[in-house]
Amino acid sequence: TARATEGSTASGQARASEGSTASGRSTARNGSVASGCSDATDISTTSGECAPAPKPPTHPAGPGGPGGPGGPGGGGALARTGGVDTMAQAAAAATALGAVLLGLGRRRFAAEPVGEDV
């Protein structure tokens, strides 16, 4: 859940405060703009990719083995949330949203005088 305070904008799991803009899993403070998994402070702009998620351990499946017929968890099926195309579209949309928020933040803060009340 995004969290924005003090005239800021945030999306995704981002945190923004003091007139900043953040998206993704980033944190922006004090008039900064951040996206991805980066942190920005003191009127700066950053963007960075998130580290890949760790892969779950694999267990051999076979007759009587974990996940195999007759073994613990046998007969189960994996849930599917969508095909590769759906995941690619979601990733593209998230990337586009981050770029839009990054651009809006730059435009917003470029037009405001630094150190003056607006």
- Residue 76: pLDDT over 60: no
d(CA 86, CA 76): 24
Burial (CB count <10 Å: 0-12, 13-18, 19+), residue 38: buried
pTM: 0.47
Res. 102 pLDDT band, cuts 50 70 90: confident
**Who wins on pLDDT, 86 or 18?**
18
SS3 107: helix
How far, in Å, CA of 32 to CA of 39, rounded? 9
pLDDT tens-place string over residues 34-54: 998 889 999 888 888 877 777
Give the HSE-up count for residue 106: Cα atoms under 13 Å, Cβ half-sphere: 11
| Polymer length of the chain | 118
**How much is the pLDDT for 27?**
93
pLDDT at residue number 18:
93
